[in-house]
Amino acid sequence: MWSLKEKRKLFRQNLTLTLECDLMRTIDWKEESNSVVLVDQTLLPKEYRIIECKTLSSLCEAIKSLRIRGAPALGAAGGFGIALAAFLSESRDFETIIRDLKIAGKTLKSTRPTAVNLSWGVDRVLKAVSDAFDVQGVREIALQEARDIAEEDVVTNKLIGESGAELLKDGDTVLTHCNAGRLACVDWGTALGVVRSAIAEGKKIKVIACETRPLNQGSRITAWELMQDKIPVTLISDSMAGWVMQQGLVDSVLVGADRITQDVVFNKIGTYSLSILAKEHDIPFYVAAPTSTFDFNGWEGSVKIEMRDPDELRFFGSEQLAPKDVEVFNPAFDATPMENITAIITEKGVFYPPFLLDEVLV
Ligand code: MRU
């Protein structure tokens, strides 16, 4: 959590690099109706639509169905979810509203288990409201803390971008997986934030986006958001990555993370395979993530990998792709061992092996 002094310092720094387009933040609070508004990412790239979540169950549905997704955006969703629960609670006294918020926190956390930011956002707002004295105070503090999470996410991503941009050379081509861009965050992005910052510094950078089956966050979201910013992007299917690397078309691989434990980086399924391919072809493999994605006490074995609906593989929308009753294995994430990672880029700087997580905290 930033102290006020730290925040002022950060805002004074060069955080004005912009490639901003007309898009709203991925997730925000709507003052007039005390509700959460977010970009419905299941509709992209066909339609850019903002939806309003007025109830906790509609926000939970939006998280489960990936209308809002990406670790940092889920952190903001967790924070705004507690603020929403505070405004919806009919409790008249401090103890009962706190009890309501704790129940809401459990419900929010159960929607998606792997990205640690969701729990982090929930817990941060729950901790902040314990300083309140009454129901009104709980509401005000919850909303302020949730807004701070969103605000800090943008600052954090620009700092990640600044640190990571040093790793990219003018003319580089970066291969990325899934979507670790502005739509996975409140704005700017982590992995794609590094690309944006490098471009804002005047470097010419191209991106190769892996399709990212089965839900196609790469083709639907990464390709779309980069094209909005006129950043050169070429789409490939996941199975093409090895060949593209072997042909010398990739200077570095740059991905985001859902949870970083002492021994591995959890990210979208397929990241582990890319790390092996990068190692084989001597290509640097970078992970860009805020420190809110670090699970300092966690190990690979302590983390639950989300298993998703088998129909995500059997169908694409209403299109049947496989026998309806074929057995399916559909984990949403995999774990990349630290030895496959060249550097981890955070808002606190670039870290190289051995990745001693305590150092990241300093
Ligand atoms: O299932 P998703 O779309 O939420 O998965 C997202 C990812 O794996 C991203 O790479 C990760 O959250 C980093 S986002 C900055």
Our answer to whether residue 258 is catalytic in this structure is yes
- 19 vs 187: CA distance, rounded Å: 11
Of 139, 158, 177, the position where a domain reaches its end is: 158
Q: pLDDT digit string (tens) for 183-223?
A: 999 999 999 999 999 999 999 999 999 999 999 999 999 99
Q: Which two tokens stand for residue 188?
A: 């700017």
For the CA of 178, the nearest atom of ligand 1:
10
Helix axes 94-109, 135-165, angle to 10 degrees: 40
Query: Using the 8-state DSSP alphabet, how is residue 246 labeled?
Result: H
Binding site membership of 210 for ligand 1 (Cβ less than 6 Å): no
Of 126, 158, 190, the position where a domain reaches its end is: 158
- 68 vs 77: CA distance, rounded Å: 8
Does residue 156 carry a pLDDT above 70?
A: yes
- My answer on whether 129 and 173 are in the same domain is no
- Nearest Cα neighbor of 221 from 185, 250, 245, 251 is 185
Q: pLDDT digit string (tens) for 60-111?
A: 999 999 999 999 999 999 999 999 999 999 999 999 999 999 999 999 999 9
Give percent of the chain above pLDDT 90: 90
Report how many domains make up the chain. 2
Does residue 1 carry a pLDDT above 80?
A: no
**Size of the chain, expressed as the number of residues it contains:** 362
Query: Is beta strand 259-260 parallel, antiparallel or unpaired with respect to 264-268?
Result: antiparallel
Q: Which helix (H) or strand (E) holds 315?
A: strand 315-316
Residue ranges for the binding site for substrate? Answer: 69-71, 112, 217, 267-268
Query: In the structure, what pLDDT confidence band is assigned to residue 20 with cuts at 50, 70 and 90?
Result: very low
Residues 6+ apart with CB under 8 A from 6: none
Residue having the nearest C-alpha atom to atom 8 of ligand 1: 268
Complex ipTM? 0.98
Q: pLDDT digit string (tens) for 259-318?
A: 999 999 999 999 999 999 999 999 999 999 999 999 989 999 999 999 999 999 999 989
Binding site membership of 161 for ligand 1 (Cβ less than 6 Å): no
- 204 vs 194: CA distance, rounded Å: 13
In a domain, 5, yes or no: no
**Average pLDDT value for residue range 121-134:** 97
d(CA 112, ligand 1 centre) in Å: 11
Does residue 6 carry a pLDDT above 70?
A: no
Mean pLDDT across the chain? 94
For the CA of 191, the nearest atom of ligand 1:
15
- Nearest Cα neighbor of 188 from 206, 165, 167 is 165
Please state the pTM of the whole predicted model. 0.93
The predicted pLDDT at position 190 comes to 98
Burial of 123 (0-12, 13-18, 19+ CB in 10 A): middle
Report the CATH number that the domain containing residue 63 is assigned in CATH. Answer: 1.20.120.420
- Nearest Cα neighbor of 195 from 149, 255, 250, 284 is 255
d(CA 69, ligand 1 centre) in Å: 6
Beta bridge partners, 51, equal 38
Of 158, 181, 208, the position where a domain reaches its end is: 158
- My answer on whether 172 and 152 are in the same domain is no
Pocket test for ligand 1, best of 66, 120, 175, 217 (most atoms within 8 A of CB): 217
For the CA of 72, the nearest atom of ligand 1:
15
- Nearest Cα neighbor of 353 from 285, 345, 362, 343 is 343
* Catalytic-role residue among 172, 187, 251, 258: 258
Binding site membership of 112 for ligand 1 (Cβ less than 6 Å): no
Report the CATH number that the domain containing residue 320 is assigned in CATH. Answer: 3.40.50.10470
- Domain extent, residue 279, equals 168-361
Residue 223 contacts residue 145 (beta carbons within 8 Å): no
Pocket test for ligand 1, best of 26, 42, 65, 69 (most atoms within 8 A of CB): 69
- My answer on whether 195 and 236 are in the same domain is yes
The predicted pLDDT at position 18 comes to 41
Binding site membership of 184 for ligand 1 (Cβ less than 6 Å): yes
Does residue 15 carry a pLDDT above 50?
A: no
